Amino acid sequence: MILNDMHLLEQFSGSGALFPIHQDRHEPGLTVSITVCIYVSGGATGFFMVGRGEPQFYEEVGDAVAFESHAWHASVPPEPSAVSYRGAKITFFFSGGLQSRST
């Protein structure tokens, strides 16, 4: 696998890197693309993947998700009881290897 890109995502009340349902597409023609997202600080935001049930929340620093980048997914803000929050995640985008089943 080859590291193609990485992002530091800062998430905070009312703004920041909270994304609606989308796919991670960084380079046309990739044979396999894997996204790895690691929770690094602050308020516990979450992750939702279409077709996988309820959102999953990052609970501790170091919690992570890894998935095929073409999967439909979204960022999830903390529970509504968290009036104010600030957090960060680092996301890595890898490619290479076997032919993707979702393309």
What's the pLDDT at 96? 73
CA distance 42 to 92: 19
What's the pLDDT at 37? 92
CB contact at 8 A, 13 and 45: no
pTM of the shown model: 0.77
Q: Which CATH class is domain 2-23+30-82?
A: mainly beta
What's the pLDDT at 58? 87
CA distance 77 to 87: 10
What's the pLDDT at 5? 85
22-42, pLDDT tens digit by residue?
888 766 665 568 899 999 988
Q: Which amino acid is at 30?
A: L
Low-confidence residues of the chain: pLDDT under 50: 100, 103
